[in-house]
Copies of this chain bind each other. A is one copy, B any other.
C-alpha cells in the first residue's frame, strides 16, 4: 500500500481536462485558457460553457446557454417558503439545505443519466443564484425581486440581490469575480463533489457535498474572515498594520495569505487587487483597499507569504455592497460551474474514489469484557 502524506498532498486522485494549476509559476487555466485571458475577455456564461464543454461556445451556442440559464432562474415555491422560514440561520446552512431540496422538485429527479445531469447542471447554476439573493431579501423583510431575463448572469444576481440594476463597472467587476472563482482543480469542495458523484449518486447530492465543504473556514470561509479583520482594524492603513503585527506577535493567523498549491502569487489575486482598488475609488471604500495593500506588503516582507484569492475579494465584495455573510454563498454561486463540470466529467469516466487509512488503533483481536467487569 502506498503511503501518502497527510491530506493527500501531491497525490493524483483523478484525471481531468478542466483545470491546470502550476503552483510554482503561479499559472491557473481552465480547459487550456489562462485565467488572465479569460478575466480579460470572457463573460461568466462563456466560462460556464468552456468548463462544461472544453471549448469556447459559438455565437448560437452562447445565445442558447444564456437563454437556458435565464429560463431556469425560478425556484420551487416550497424552496422559497423554506428560505422565508429560516431568516436567522447561517447562509451556508440554508444554501446547502435549499440546494439539496431542489433535487426533490427537479423535473428529472429520478433520471441520473449524464444527459439529464447536464440539464440539471443548467438549472443548478441559475437556481443557486436565486436561492442566495432570495434568502437575503427575505431575511431583510424585503420582497423577492423577480429575475430579469434581459440581464446576464452577473447583472441579474446583483439586480435580484439589491433591486437595482448595476452599472456597467459593477456588472463587469462581479462578472470577472465569478470567472476567477469558477474552478480550481481538486480543491476540497470539488473533491467532495467528485467523491460523492463517484458512487454514481446524483448531481444534487454531489454539489450539496461541495457546498458543505466550501462552508469550512479553511476553504470558502476565509474572505469573510479577511473583511472582519479589516473592519475590526478600523479599515485604515495604520490601524490595520498594527492589528496584523499584534496577530503575528500572538501567533494568530492572518486570513487571506498562503495556499496549499500556490508557492508564489495567486494569479487570481492580481485581478481582485485591481478590482478592489477600482471599486474602492468609485464607491468610497478606498481606505479598505489601502489597508489591504499595506497588509499584503507587510506579510510578504515579514513572512514571505502571498495574498490569495480570498484576500482582495473581501474588500471588492464589500465595496459592491454585498453583505459579509454572503461572501461564501457567492463563492458557491460561482464554483457551482466548476463543481458541475467536475461531476459531469466524473460520470463520463467513473471509478469509485475509495482510499485507505493508516491504522493507528489498538491491536486487532481485543477480547470482549462483560459490562460488569469493565
Determine if A198 is an interface residue (Cβ-Cβ < 8 Å): yes
- Which B residues are in CB contact (< 8 Å) with A231? none
Instruction: Report whether A359 and B17 are in contact in the complex, using a CB–CB cutoff of 8 Å.
Output: yes
In the complex, chain A residues 82-131 whose Cβ is within 8 Å of any chain B Cβ: 82, 85-86, 89-90, 92-94, 96-97, 100-101, 103-104, 109-110
Provide the residues of chain B in CB contact with A206, threshold 8 Å.
212
Residues on the B chain within 8 Å of A364, using CB: 20, 22, 27, 29, 32, 34
Any B CB within 8 A of the CB of A186: yes
Nearest B residue to A81 by beta-carbon distance? B85
A371, B62: Cβ atoms closer than 8 Å: yes
Among A35-62, those with CB < 8 Å from B are 37, 40-42, 54, 56-59, 62
B208 pairs with A37, CB closer than 8 A: no
Interface residues on A, range: 35 or more
Whether A249 sits at the interface, judged by CB under 8 Å, is: no
Given A8-B11, A360-B15, A364-B29, check contact A215 B188 (CB 8 Å): no
A302 located at the interface, meaning its Cβ lies under 8 Å from any Cβ of chain B in the complex? no
Taking CB atoms, residues of chain B closer than 8 Å to A188 are 195-196, 198-199, 352-354
Whether B199 lies near A189 (C-beta < 8 A) is yes
Q: Give the chain B neighbours of A3 by CB distance below 8 A.
A: 12
For A186, the chain B residues whose CB sits under 8 A away are: 354-357
Point out the residue from B14, B29, B110, B212 that lies within 8 Å of A205, measured CB to CB: B212
Query: Lowest 9 A-B CB distances belong to which pairs?
Result: A199-B216, A32-B362, A205-B212, A17-B361, A201-B216, A209-B209, A13-B355, A8-B355, A199-B219
8 contacts between A and B (CB under 8 A): A17-B362, A20-B361, A32-B361, A32-B362, A34-B364, A96-B205, A192-B195, A199-B221
**6 additional contacts, CB 8 Å, given A16-B358, A201-B219?**
A7-B353, A33-B368, A93-B104, A187-B354, A188-B352, A202-B215
